[in-house]
Copies of this chain bind each other. A is one copy, B any other.
Amino acid sequence: MNNKELVSSFWRDMDAQKWDNLQSYFEPNAVIDWANTKERFTVPEFVNVNGEYPGNWNITVKRIEQMGNLIISVVFVQLSGENQAFTAVSFFKFENERFSGLTEYWGDVGEPPAWRQSNNNF
Q: Which A residues have a C-beta under 8 Å from some C-beta of B?
A: 34-39, 41, 45-46, 48-49, 52, 54, 63, 65-67, 70, 72, 74, 87, 89, 91, 105-112, 115-116, 119, 121-122
Contacts of A67 in B (CB 8 A): 65-67
30 contacts between A and B (CB under 8 A): A34-B112, A35-B109, A36-B107, A36-B108, A36-B109, A36-B110, A37-B109, A37-B110, A37-B111, A37-B116, A38-B109, A39-B116, A41-B122, A45-B119, A48-B121, A49-B116, A49-B122, A52-B115, A54-B115, A63-B91, A65-B67, A67-B67, A72-B72, A74-B105, A87-B105, A87-B107, A89-B89, A106-B107, A107-B107, A108-B108
